[in-house]
Amino acid sequence: MFLSTSFIIYIVLINITGFIFMGIDKQLAIKQKHRISEKTLMFIAIFGASFFMVIASRLFRHKTRKPMFSFGLPLIALIHILLIVLVLT
């Protein structure tokens, strides 16, 4: 029980973090300032933030033309969803 509660809290917090990072990067792109690297964004996604990052990408219309984000990010999200189902069952 504790493991699954901690896991859920982690997933929620990392996804919120990923969403915020995508929003910040979009604002930096609009202002033409130094951006968050794609490597950093993908690192955050791999560690569990992929689901909200896919949502942020669509919502902010950010990184939608980049194959790594338009195909890779949803694929990572799908893998994460499968892993979450396995952990929680």
Q: Angle 8-10-5 (CA atoms, 0-180°, nearest 5)?
A: 35
Count of domains observed in the chain: 1
pLDDT of res. 3? 62
Here the tokens at position 86 are 């396995």
Closest by alpha carbon to 64, among 14, 33, 29?
A: 29
Closest by alpha carbon to 35, among 45, 26, 46?
A: 26
Which phi and psi angles does 61 have, rounded to 5°?
A: 50, 55
CA separation for the pair 18, 49 (Å, rounded):
5
Question: pLDDT digit string (tens) for 62-85?
Answer: 888 888 888 999 999 999 889 878
Q: What range does the domain containing 84 cover?
A: 2-88
Question: pLDDT digit string (tens) for 11-66?
Answer: 899 999 999 999 999 999 999 999 999 999 999 999 999 999 999 999 998 888 88
Here the tokens at position 73 are 């990010």
pTM: 0.86
